[in-house]
Structure 1
């Protein structure tokens, strides 16, 4: 096994030789966050580090037109990881890359490049971003043909253990595989809904952690399937129970210190943290179509299931969109609770980071902390307090994003236009369908 995560090209080539690696799965994501992957012989990787691996960009969602289709994937050696569930002899590894144009310049529609631009903006201001995402997912049974169902694997609840958490062996196998790949796991447990699970990442730099999120989904689905289950990151696969979120813990570091912490303030939060919160609140409706990108995302964002829908912040109140966990010092962080795991993490965290930086640059003032249960407020109370809400469906989120100069600047023209085109197509397809609810409600009475 690889004893430490490789950093250089030479480290990777040594790891390939020591671990009998035969194939490399090169990976990146399309605009919507879907993994794109193909295998190359391990002996070809050295050349790929120099020249890249050519592929047809016109076949990738949101990339290029047919007449300008040649693209190159430039492998990033720091992302090399063995796939521990594959055989040890003739091992297989994955490596993530950056997409480049034929002239060698970065492709501005590559989601990883969009995040890199946001990271560079933070560095110019003297900050680095650390994140600790909490990803939830469901494990369902497969049918006798190997197709996914929504049949429950257990009836467990929050933190339950065997016999209620019957899929704990699957989760344990996932945990072991991730640790073998060098992931740092903060926590792993059964979530509140039946068949629902959560695995939390330890804080790390935003780019590496987003790479890990992409691989995490791949690992979870692969191991679950090998063990006879189906894992889904669909935000709301079941009616009447909680959906799956991706609570996004984040902090900024400056000169080795947490820029969000100030021991001299009553709540331990710095003015930088307050400005960052204000930036998130200012732009969250505009980037909701990125953090909550599907029709199904908005079935999760409804009252009654712990999902935040009102644009407030609080030091403790879990009904707020932004929560400040109790830890202080290096652990001081902002938790944005609306994102879900169907998002493209590169775009989602680029939007969050740039929103927070906008708040810092312009010294935006955060509203007062909301310390009441917002779900129990009347509409009149919320209006009086000036509490806005997230978009109620994907169409409203698309409209907010379409009008946002901020999001266009974050994504760049190419990714912005292609993302909106894909989301509008998704909405139009959805609204043209006749759904079971309509048949159940109207067919027998109209």
Structure 2
């Protein structure tokens, strides 16, 4: 094997392990310093003056979930708020259901848009109609925890440069193996990553399903971009490039529906990967400024993940070619099946799951029962990350510029 190929193998092997230790150390540091002795979800910190808050809920074809979502939003343990539902050209009876709910609840206002213009546009319309400086944004199928608004507003009031606060999404559909795997993923990967990134100061993205914003910050950067396939990643980068701080609050819970079919999961993760590539291509040049150096770690981490995906693809192609044709010895790949290094990777992943269990039992006392299924997770997560990243880059490069990103109805689990 050539030295170059040996180096690629080492990078492909060590990258997931190094990142796992990075996420674990950052997540545990965040937990022991900021979470372990913090108040429980049901006992949020006192806010000197409780400001008026607007909860924005963009909806597109959400008839099956909209009653439940609005009920949870209207049940906030917070004294002064309004709920604004934005019906973005739904073709089902979402509009009629929202109007009926608005007649029952004084706090609820409904905005009807005549056609599907995308989530970013719906959020912008809601923000312009809102009467508050503080905007809590959730998806139309999400159930907001009753204390979530209080926790996020506490952060926004804690400092004038706090531009956004992202919450802690929890999976509520767990009827299949894919559902149970995602319970562990949101805890041991997504939650860990956000904690680790908060330690070094910048987040790759807020969670689009639950986030609170300062309207002043949004106004400075021009609100959400309607041509980005993932508006949450783009708004996160632009806020931080404008020197606004983004916080992570694990006590701000939100219960969400996730795909439980392979097709639905693939479509969702491909959209996430494409959103990351779009943001990287659009903003990398702007990040070269020394004044924006705090974003370099986020950019470097993401570029490493893309490099790893294409490195793995290259190794797999060499292996496949070697099955059907003679290859030079320096390019011959004997096998891609895990051997001793696979065992090490599995052990590191189990350590990561154990660390996340220590942290996460604070928010779900019985979350540990889902970790039985996590033996399948290392292969599932890294392979999914690999193929979606590899597919997303050319797809983004070939995408028509300035094309509006409109709604597509996602897979919300097995009915």
Where on the TM-score scale, by shorter chain, does this alignment land: which range?
under 0.3
TM-score between the two structures when normalised by the length of structure 1: 0.25
TM-score, with length taken from structure 2:
0.26
Q: Which structure has more helix as a fraction of its residues?
A: 2
Higher relative contact order (CA 8 A, sep 6+): 2
